[in-house]
Amino acid sequence: HGDSKDYDSETESVCPFCGVGCKVSLKVKDGKVKYVEGINGPANEGRLCVKGRFGFDYIHHPHRLTKPLIRREDAPAKGLNVDPGNLGTHFREATWEEAMDLAATKLKTLRDEDPRNVAGFGSAKCTNEEAYLFQKFIRQGFRHNNVDHCTRLCHASSVAALIENVGSGAVTATFNEVENSDVVIIIGANPIENHPVAATYFKQFTKRGGKLIVMDPRGVGMRKFADEMLQFRPGADVSMLNAIMNVIVEEELYDSQYIHRWTENWEAEKEHLRAFTPEAMAPICGIEPAQLRRVARTFAQAKAGLIFWGMGVSQHIHGTDNSRCLISLALMTGNVGKPGAGLHPLRGQNNVQGASDAGLIPMFLPDYQSVMDDDIRAKFNNVWNSDDFSNEKGLTVTEIIDQAYAGNIKGMYIQGENPAMSDPDVGHAREALAKLELMIVQDIFLTETANYADIILPASALYEKNGTVSNTNRQVQRVRPAVTPPGEAREDWKITVELAQRIGLNWDYTDVSEVFAEMKLTMASLDNITWDRLETETITYPSLSETDPGQAIVFGDGFPRADGRARFTPASVIPPDEAPDEEYPMIATTGRQLEHWHTGSMTRRATVLDAVEPEANCSMNPRQLKLMGIEPGELIRLTTRRGSIEIMVRADRAIAEDMVFIPFAYVEAAANILTNSAIDPYGKIPEFKFSAIRVEKIEDA
């Protein structure tokens, strides 16, 4: 970029990619964002990663949707067959009036038949206000709770365990708190690629002598900075963590005072852990007893320890158990509620924390208030001036897809989500979407999901909208429009409001700040956080007064549970849903890469990012490749019980010899064709991180 005179205007907003929530200044010239600079937000202090700095120009991509579209009556059968450059055989352009009228009429017809015909997927890419309105649209408009979003595919199991055991689903300490830590555990997370600016704080922590313990079946980038690297067997999290806690119990390294004052169920946990000796667990988790002991002592004897985790922990059928272990480890060592200590699931999407807080989940209203509680529903109905809605927990993302497949859900309103790429066993998800009688997709591009739509509503990118977002640190920040949406595209919240009015709801918002004001009526987490304050401040919830910038650390004086006590919930070893066998002898795991974001709809349209990483790829250990006679760069075939893809392979020594790592951003070799849809019984999150797989050389490649 150039000097301070090479732009017409500058606007402060927040990066649209990951949950770090870096603050940015957008430099605009001739109506387009010309470049992006990091500015001084509490989560980034001026820093940006490659996505934040160079990944912005997707918003000006020619594929942007600029007019409402309606599926043509003579369109070919629904499938992944629409050319974004030539929509003519599938869709025709429509006016907003026609598209909204059709959408509302069809929604009302389905509702009149049975309100449960209709379900909704909202988006962690939209603002808090948009997420709030979306869940209200389904609950008030259809009287049930069948509304969810991609948190189900990301940290739902972590949230389930946190709510169960500490009474709140958000982080107990910001990642910046590593400044006060002596020891840090990073498990099942790859922050160098997925939370790159947070990773810079972790690197600084090691530079000043902090002890870093990295645990992951892949040799992720942070291992280069680690004092201990535990490259454990995939799916063996519980055996490894229980063995570490066994040492803490047997050597009496736990914090008796803390346990006595702030926890319950300790005796049961202690007894449960006795069987998990390092010697017994080593063959299962693949980590030597001596290292398990060393790590246990390091963590337990530190003055302050923080635990970070990612989807390597959560995306298993035992994801909730994995998180329960991490919570127990922090509690038994007294590492919650003091400087430098805590529990921090690194949230993925830029606003997955905020969308969950705003109630975009089937079992909870905003602020994780139960849909099953009559008084809570009455409170919302009062604010909404509305009749009661169902007291049953709604269906989750994967359950909604299954019901659509079975024909029990006939219509969906999908805002900014891409289940045709992001769901496990995506072949099944795509068939389910094709069966819908009505699919309304609101998005900025003709995504893979929009290929299946009946009505497409052109929406706005984050840099075109006004509102608030909440990052992984519980920090609420304003986003502001730097440019206007292209063509006739509109802000998402305005589209939802108009659709709500057209199906007969009593909505009369004229400004997004009115939505925020309504959220404050039922969300105690927003106490003392005002629209005016957010004009100039980032505020970490909870904020205790009108001048308090917010609490970086929570639960120093008790937990939001009965008696103020956190709970130990013992976890047993549950094997992955499918074991490798003769037919599928290896293990596949999926994840992200530094340059690409989730299903790739944005970053693959960002010039710099796509130039750096243009091609679908997977990675395997070079020794294994040699054994199979495969050269790095060759195309190979990957097959699981769900399907098969052909993809270029790279060599990566950091991957175990029986594993394949597959990024999931590439539609031409979609990793989720392969993944298993078996779910964790508590968080209902699919087991993306473990599929039995067969790898084949393509002989004629």
Alpha carbons 267 and 273: distance in angstroms, whole number = 10
Place of tokens 């109905």: 381
Q: How far apart are CA 10 and CA 366, in angstroms?
A: 33
Query: Which position among 7, 13, 51, 509 is part of the footprint of ligand SF4 (CB under 6 A)?
Result: 51
β partners of residue 651: 620
Question: Contact, 107 vs 411, CB < 8 A?
Answer: yes
> Is 194 or 356 the residue whose CB approaches ligand SF4 more closely?
194
| 217 vs 310, beta carbon nearer ligand SF4 | 310
Element (H, E) at 52: helix 50-54
Alpha-carbon distance of 461 to 608, in angstroms, equals 18
Site string for ligand SF4, 14-33 (x = CB under 6 A): -x-xx-xxx-----------
Stretch near ligand SF4 under the rule CB under 6 A, chosen from 10-18, 93-101, 513-521, 588-596: 10-18
Nearer to ligand SF4, 197 or 329 (CB): 197
Determine which residue in the list 13, 41, 42, 48 makes contact with ligand SF4, applying CB under 6 A.
Answer: 48
Alpha-carbon distance 527 to 127, whole Å? Answer: 18
Shortest CB 200 distance to ligand SF4, Å: 9
Q: Which is nearer to ligand SF4, 48 or 295 (CB)?
A: 48
Compare residues 602 and 649 and give the one whose CB is closer to ligand SF4.
602
State the DSSP string of 593-623.
BTTB-TTSTTGGGSHHHHHHS-S-EEEE-HH
In whole angstroms, the minimum distance from the beta carbon of 21 to ligand SF4 comes to 6
Query: Which is closer to ligand SF4, CB of 17 or CB of 258?
Result: 17
User: Is the Cβ–Cβ distance between 138 and 476 less than 8 Å?
Assistant: no
Among 27, 33, 41, 52, which residue sits at the site for ligand SF4 (rule: CB under 6 A)?
52
**Minimum CB distance to ligand SF4, residue 428 (Å):** 31
Pairwise CA distance, residues 99 & 332, whole Å: 57
Closer CB to ligand SF4, residue 49 or residue 586? 49
Min dist. Cβ of residue 54 to ligand SF4 (A) = 10
Please work out the total of residues on this chain that contact ligand SF4, with binding judged by CB under 6 A: 14
Q: Between 82 and 609, name the residue whose CB sits nearer to ligand SF4.
A: 609
User: Does a cis peptide bond (omega within 30 degrees of 0) precede residue 542?
Assistant: yes
First to last CA, the chain: 42
- Is residue 124 part of the contact set for ligand SF4 (CB under 6 A)? no
Q: Provide the minimum distance between the beta carbon of 602 and ligand SF4 in the complex, in angstroms, as a whole number.
A: 11
Shortest-Cβ-distance residue relative to ligand SF4 = 52
- Where are the strands (E) in 369-499, listed by range? 369-370, 411-415, 438-443, 455-458, 467-470, 475-479
In this structure, how many other beta carbons lie within 10 angstroms of the beta carbon of residue 675?
28
Segment 158 to 197, residues that bind ligand SF4, using CB under 6 A: 195-197
Q: Strand runs (DSSP E) across 39-132, as ranges?
A: 69-71, 91-93, 118-121
Query: If we measure between CA atoms, which residue out of 7, 39, 10 comes closest to residue 23?
Result: 39
Q: How far is the CB of 592 from ligand SF4 (least distance, A)?
A: 10
Cα-Cα-Cα-Cα torsion 264, 267, 269, 273, nearest 10 degrees, comes to 160
Please select the residue that binds ligand SF4; options are 26, 49, 311, 660, rule is CB under 6 A. 49
Smallest gap from Cβ 332 to ligand SF4, in A, equals: 32
Q: Which is nearer to ligand SF4, 410 or 596 (CB)?
A: 596
Residue 689's nearest CA partner among 50, 176, 218, 100 is: 218
Quote the least distance from Cβ 350 to ligand SF4, whole Å. 6
Rounded Cα–Cα distance for residues 628 and 481 (Å): 52
Q: Which of 475, 607, 589 is nearest to 198 (CA)?
A: 475
Structure tokens at 491: 């802000």
Listed in sequence order, the residues at least 6 apart from 581 whose beta carbon sits closer than 8 Å to its beta carbon are 692
Question: Cβ closer to ligand SF4: 15 or 444?
Answer: 15
The residue (of 49 and 282) whose beta carbon lies closer to ligand SF4 is 49
Could you tell me the smallest distance in angstroms from the CB atom of residue 177 to ligand SF4? 17
Least Å distance, CB 16 to ligand SF4, is 7
Q: How far is the CB of 56 from ligand SF4 (least distance, A)?
A: 10
Site string for ligand SF4, 191-230 (x = CB under 6 A): ----xxx---------------------------------
198 or 620: whose CB is closer to ligand SF4? 198
Q: Name the residues that contact ligand SF4, by CB under 6 A.
A: 15, 17-18, 20-22, 44, 48-49, 51-52, 195-197
